[in-house]
């Protein structure tokens, strides 16, 4: 846009406007003494703003929460699991995402939590929203120097927790009964007979989960090279950790039952894994079995609860159980421990 100046010369105003579906338009402008300079700046800024998180790198005025979420996903969410990433991405679809990040108030955060409650979600689910909202806001302050008022967030979180609008998920205490285990075993045996060469050995995998306390994904990462049959130990690569997703390699003790299951697995030269199957396929087979047998509310992960509880019932001490389960503290370990008095072995 050409503008006359008092001295008779002209200045050129370059203006950029970016339309965003469901969000306020973003705009910025700058004045130049020459038209060529204005054109060059406009072209360069359009390319910069089109990049992921580009709008957020511009002047903070007018930046909405949606922009911060988008940039966080681009820069910091590479290591996030599927469920965590889905929670972050879902935040972009709520009304709170259209609020200017520097104007986000405790009232708006509380309104979001109340809206989620009215929609029927559990306080633990809403807590995930609030947790990731806090992470994104703190990242905006620390990494991008955004003038966000974190006191507003902390005040809202304190009230939400005191009113029960957010809470930790309830600890599961589900253990399969002996009858349920036998029902599943019979189902897997029958399936194995029907298609012996094309099916996952689910009976062995279920029994190994109970005997070893290993998670679904961990079972499929165990390798023959990491197995020490003499010491009855094995390494689990990239063991689950709240802060360290990769490189957390740990050695665990194997029970006699777990070792026997490993030793009867076929060993192929081209396959380093002991259980060379996809974790998702194992989960699908397990859910199909529980549905077929009418077994309600039993997850594959509940087998880890069963394994941990059996170790205590067999008389192992806390520090000994940790050598099998790899829990780092009693606070975590006790959530997996649901003892049955009738199974305790008297000394």
Judge whether residue 240 has pLDDT over 70.
no
Distance from the Cα of residue 11 to its chain's centroid = 53
Residue 338 has a pLDDT of 59
Q: Which two structure tokens, joined as six digits, stand for 87?
A: 């929670």
* Mean pLDDT value of segment 311-327: 87
3-class DSSP state of 41: helix
The mean pLDDT of 65-78, rounded to a whole number, is 88
What's the rounded mean pLDDT across residues 142-166? 91
Percent of the chain topping pLDDT 70? 84
Query: How many residues would you count in the chain?
Result: 347
Encode pLDDT of 186-230 as tens digits.
999 988 777 765 579 999 999 999 999 999 999 999 999 999 999
User: Cα–Cα distance between 71 and 140 in angstroms, integer?
Assistant: 9
C-alpha span between 186 and 192 (Å, rounded) = 10
Q: For the beta carbon of residue 99, count every other beta carbon within 10 angstroms.
A: 18
The residue with tokens 């609008």 is: 165
Query: What is the C-alpha to C-alpha distance for residues 335 and 323, in angstroms, rounded to an integer?
Result: 17
Q: Calculate the average pLDDT of the chain.
A: 84
Which of 136-145, 206-215, 248-257 reaches the highest mean pLDDT? 206-215
Burial class (CB in 10 A: 0-12, 13-18, 19+), 77: middle
Measured CA distances, 169 to 121, 136, 222 (Å)? 12, 22, 30
Buried (b) or exposed (e) across 151-174, using 16+ Cβ within 10 A? ebbebbbeebeeeebbeeeeeeee
Asked if pLDDT for residue 246 goes beyond 60, the answer is no
Nearest CA to 10 out of 20, 1, 19 is that of 1
Q: What is the pLDDT of residue 242?
A: 47
Q: Tokens 């509380």 sit at which residue?
A: 110
Please check the confidence at residue 183 and state whether its pLDDT lies above 70.
Answer: yes
pTM of the model: 0.61
Average pLDDT over residues 251-260: 95
37 and 29 Cβ atoms separated by less than 8 Å: no
């Amino acid at each position: 846009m050409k503008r006359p100046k008092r001295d008779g010369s002209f200045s050129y105003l370059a203006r950029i406007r970016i339309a965003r579906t469901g969000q306020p338009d973003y705009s910025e402008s700058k004045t130049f003494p020459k038209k060529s300079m204005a054109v060059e700046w406009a072209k360069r800024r359009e390319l910069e703003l089109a990049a992921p998180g580009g709008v957020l790198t511009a002047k903070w005025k007018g930046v909405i929460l949606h922009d911060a979420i988008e940039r966080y996903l681009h820069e910091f969410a590479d290591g996030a699991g599927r469920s965590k990433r889905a929670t972050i991405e879902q935040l972009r679809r709520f009304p709170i995402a259209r609020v200017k990040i520097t104007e986000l108030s405790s009232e708006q955060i509380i309104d979001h939590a109340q809206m989620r409650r009215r929609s029927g979600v559990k306080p633990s689910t809403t807590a995930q929203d609030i947790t990731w909202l806090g992470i994104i806001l703190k990242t905006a302050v620390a990494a991008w120097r955004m003038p966000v008022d974190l006191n507003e967030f902390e005040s809202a979180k304190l009230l939400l927790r005191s009113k029960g609008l957010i809470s930790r998920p309830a600890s599961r205490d589900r253990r399969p009964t002996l009858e349920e285990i036998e029902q599943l075993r019979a189902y897997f045996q029958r399936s194995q007979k029907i298609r012996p060469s094309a099916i996952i050995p689910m009976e062995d995998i279920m029994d190994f989960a109970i005997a070893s306390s290993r998670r679904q994904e961990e079972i499929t990462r165990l390798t023959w090279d990491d197995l020490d049959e003499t010491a009855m130990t094995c390494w689990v690569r990239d063991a689950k950790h709240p802060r360290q997703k990769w490189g957390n390699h740990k050695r665990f003790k194997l029970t006699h039952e777990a070792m026997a299951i490993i030793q009867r697995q076929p060993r192929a030269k081209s396959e380093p894994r002991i259980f060379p199957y996809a974790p998702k396929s194992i989960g699908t087979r397990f859910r199909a079995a529980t549905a077929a047998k009418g077994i309600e509310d039993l997850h594959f992960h509940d087998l880890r609860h069963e394994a941990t509880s059996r170790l205590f019932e067999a008389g192992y001490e806390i520090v000994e159980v940790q050598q099998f389960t790899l829990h780092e503290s009693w606070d975590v370990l006790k959530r997996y421990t649901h003892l049955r008095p009738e199974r305790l072995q008297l000394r």
